[in-house]
Amino acid sequence: MLRKRIIPCLDLKDGQVVKGVKFLDLRDMGDPATHARFYNAEDADELVILDITASRERRQTLLRVVEKVADVLFIPLTVGGGVRTADDVRDLLNAGADRVSLNTAAIHRPELIGDAAERFGSQCVVVAIDAKRRPTGWDVYIFGGHENTGRDALEWSTEAERRGAGEILLTSMDRDGTQLGYDIELLKAITSRVRIPVIASGGAGEMSHFHDALVAGGADAALAASLFHTKAMTIPELKRYLRSKGVPVR
């Protein structure tokens, strides 16, 4: 069985780490390179950086920030935000990213997924899906959660896989920042449809929530932000807990 991954996430705004609730009320949480150094020492399996206002502001991810983080990081790095072309993917990989996350642009131009996968390999391409509940399912949102595309999240996940995505970063907008637990129903609906790895995001508040996402939800990795940033929970103690429950972690 493949070992499950624990992944901290840095949401960026104006080059600084921020965190909010349900994509709103963002508060400053410091310098990304400082966080990166901390997570190197914390036994994190990977780090995700998302420039959450880049698409809405019609600009590229801040490459200088990515370079600074990559210079101090010794674990895999995934970067997203403002990626519109395969050349943008190239620039982020050259800046030190190992994988690049596509979101808004992939909805507007789905062939971007295939273009990037063909040029750099599917292992470099992550499709981020920000999903919000509707009465009969989940809609996909873009522009940092500000615009409802009307697309069904389950259908989009299978299309993303078919077009060449190597992984899906699945965020429940309803649970983001609430610490009420991951949306297990959403996770199961996606993980049962796709064969590529799925990262669970949105809602972690206690150790059992990670267990639920990785076991009941079928996720290959679990991502959290403020819980780790504030040191309310450490990654080493979380991994010890998961091992005690029989979950294979790195």
CA 230 to chain centre: 19
24 pLDDT higher than 80: no
- Total count of domains within the chain: 1
What would the pLDDT profile of 47-100 be if each residue is shown by its tens digit?
A: 999 887 665 665 556 788 999 999 999 999 999 988 999 999 999 999 999 999
Q: Which domain holds residue 110?
A: 5-244
Quick check: is 113 in a domain? yes
Quick check: is 33 in a domain? yes
Instruction: At 210, list the tokens.
Output: 């990670």
Cα separation, 93 vs 89, in Å, equals: 6
Answer whether 225's CB lies under 8 Å from 19's CB: yes
What would the pLDDT profile of 109-165 be if each residue is shown by its tens digit?
A: 999 999 999 999 999 999 999 999 999 999 999 988 889 999 999 999 999 999 999
Per-residue confidence (pLDDT) for residue 226, from 0 to 100: 84
Per-residue confidence (pLDDT) for residue 132, from 0 to 100: 97
Marked catalytic residue, from 11, 45, 183, 212: 11
Please, which pLDDT band fits residue 172 given cuts at 50, 70 and 90? very high
Q: Is 0.85 surpassed by the pTM of this model?
A: yes
Quick check: is 24 in a domain? yes
Marked catalytic residue, from 45, 51, 88, 130: 130
Quick check: is 249 in a domain? no
Per-residue confidence (pLDDT) for residue 13, from 0 to 100: 81
Quick check: is 131 in a domain? yes
Using DSSP's 3-state secondary structure scheme, residue 77 falls into strand
Cα separation, 25 vs 90, in Å, equals: 32
Give yes or no: 130 in active site: yes
Instruction: At 69, list the tokens.
Output: 């983080």
Quick check: is 41 in a domain? yes
What would the pLDDT profile of 230-243 be if each residue is shown by its tens digit?
A: 899 999 999 999 99
Q: Which CATH number is 51's domain given?
A: 3.20.20.70
What would the pLDDT profile of 204-232 be if each residue is shown by its tens digit?
A: 999 999 999 999 999 999 999 889 988 99
Cα separation, 34 vs 55, in Å, equals: 25
Quick check: is 250 in a domain? no
Quick check: is 101 in a domain? yes
Length of the chain: 250
The count of other CB atoms within 10 Å of the CB of residue 109 is 13
Per-residue CA distances from 122 to 160, 183, 211 (Å): 11, 26, 28
Of 52, 60, 65, 80, residue with least CA distance to 168: 80
Per-residue confidence (pLDDT) for residue 88, from 0 to 100: 95
Please, which pLDDT band fits residue 193 given cuts at 50, 70 and 90? very high
